[in-house]
Amino acid sequence: MAVVEIRNLKKTFSGANAVESLNLTTEDGEFIVIVGPSGCGKSTTMRMIAGLEEVSGGSILIDGQDVTDLSPTERDVAMVFQNYALYPHLTVYDNMAFCLQVRKWPKARIDERVRAVAESLSLTPLLQRKPAALSGGQRQRVALGRAIVREPRIFIMDEPLSNLDAKLRVDMRGEITKLCRRLKVTTFYVTHDQLEALTMGHRIIVMRNGVAQQIDTPQRIYDEPVNRFVASFIGSPSMNFLEATVEGDGQILRGPGFQLRVSDRIARALKESSETKVVAGIRPEHLFPVADGDSAGGWVQGRIELVEPLGSQVMVQVMVGNSVIVAQFERQPGLDVGRAITLQHKTDAPHAFDVETERTVLAAAPAESPAALASA
């Protein structure tokens, strides 16, 4: 358990910025997920926190102590990587016991600890096997077990699930989340999978080109992305974007084949900024089909290009003006390629982004306080 403070953290490689001015203070026992596309600086950030990479600027404090120049061991950090890094010649038991033996723990204490952790990870029947005789998921559990036996202050996990198949990934995702919540060890977890980020993290850092774009809870990142990049990276299928003109005192976004009604908050921001053009953003899961006459609140009309069944749901590509957008809703009859379709969006669903800066138009308009609302 630890509070980690990251202050103005930077890393440059041969003059190029890999990580720029990262600032974050964790809660004790918080699960922080770092997510972003390949090369955005996720692993470099983790390696600096772990003490495997020298920082180019800034500092890292653990429970108030500056550890920027300390080794990984001195920081009391345990790491789990995608390649497991198990010792192939040692049994599961010895892999887990190894770091305790190095610390010269008494044998009986090591045995007690290893068996307790093995039991919690359902590894007891496998303790005498060697890594080669284990499945990918079992190996990953051993790697976790080896990190847990040490009772570290901090876990660092760098894409620990990326070698597993889809089903096992989902199972292990749940196991790791439950485990970390139970152990209350402050955890940094790197992934490029936005679903892992949304489901596992107390908070998510969304990175792009070495810069943290948004650090927030999964819900707020999904509901209130600060810019178009975060909006498109978090959420699956990705958010749809349509260039629109602002009409009706900021309340309506219009373009070829659509007319969207925005929330009062966005309308106020648009009115204040007096922008005439924005990029409208709508999540596919916020669109659903309606009969023509039902769509007074806002509508998107187009022709069905592709229908992809997803079991109980269906994903439909629709040509709207010159853009293809995606909608995802409950499976229903009559969705034929080439047919006209009218979609409505859920109340308050559309987002609006500045055409040039790509930032949300809400950036300059903080959420209304109750007092402000009362005086409005």
Does residue 213 bind ligand ATP (CB under 6 A)?
Answer: no
In the set 7, 192, 202, 359, which binds ligand ATP (CB under 6 A)? 192
Find the shortest distance in angstroms from Cβ 221 to ligand ATP.
18
Does residue 328 bind ligand ATP (CB under 6 A)?
Answer: no
Binding window for ligand ATP (CB under 6 A); candidates: 31-39, 58-66, 180-188, 265-273: 31-39
In the set 43, 214, 227, 240, which binds ligand ATP (CB under 6 A)? 43
Binding window for ligand ATP (CB under 6 A); candidates: 33-41, 273-281, 315-323, 363-371: 33-41
Does residue 160 bind ligand ATP (CB under 6 A)?
Answer: no
Does residue 375 bind ligand ATP (CB under 6 A)?
Answer: no
Element (H, E) at 182: helix 166-183
Find the shortest distance in angstroms from Cβ 190 to ligand ATP.
7
DSSP 125: G
The Cα 20–Cα 7 span in angstroms is 11
Close Cβ partners of 366 (under 8 Å, ≥ 6 residues apart): none
Close Cβ partners of 135 (under 8 Å, ≥ 6 residues apart): none
Find the shortest distance in angstroms from Cβ 285 to ligand ATP.
26
* Site size toward ligand ATP, by CB under 6 A: 11
Does residue 18 bind ligand ATP (CB under 6 A)?
Answer: yes
The Cα 345–Cα 252 span in angstroms is 13
Find the shortest distance in angstroms from Cβ 41 to ligand ATP.
4
The Cα 215–Cα 35 span in angstroms is 10
Close Cβ partners of 304 (under 8 Å, ≥ 6 residues apart): 316, 317, 318, 335, 336, 337, 338, 339, 340, 341
Binding window for ligand ATP (CB under 6 A); candidates: 40-48, 167-175, 227-235, 290-298: 40-48
Does residue 42 bind ligand ATP (CB under 6 A)?
Answer: yes
Does residue 15 bind ligand ATP (CB under 6 A)?
Answer: no
Does residue 40 bind ligand ATP (CB under 6 A)?
Answer: yes
Binding window for ligand ATP (CB under 6 A); candidates: 42-50, 71-79, 122-130, 246-254: 42-50
Find the shortest distance in angstroms from Cβ 233 to ligand ATP.
12
The Cα 290–Cα 334 span in angstroms is 12
Q: For the stretch 303-321, what's the b/e string if a residue is b when 16 or more beta carbons lie within 10 angstroms of its beta carbon? A: ebeeeeeeeeebbbbbebe
In the set 44, 214, 328, 360, which binds ligand ATP (CB under 6 A)? 44
Does residue 13 bind ligand ATP (CB under 6 A)?
Answer: yes
Close Cβ partners of 298 (under 8 Å, ≥ 6 residues apart): 252, 258, 259, 260, 261, 344, 345, 350
Cα dihedral 196→197→198→203 (10° resolution): 150
Residue with smaller CB distance to ligand ATP, 36 or 350: 36
Does residue 113 bind ligand ATP (CB under 6 A)?
Answer: no
Does residue 38 bind ligand ATP (CB under 6 A)?
Answer: yes
The Cα 38–Cα 281 span in angstroms is 24
Residues in touch with ligand ATP (CB under 6 A):
13, 18, 36, 38-44, 192
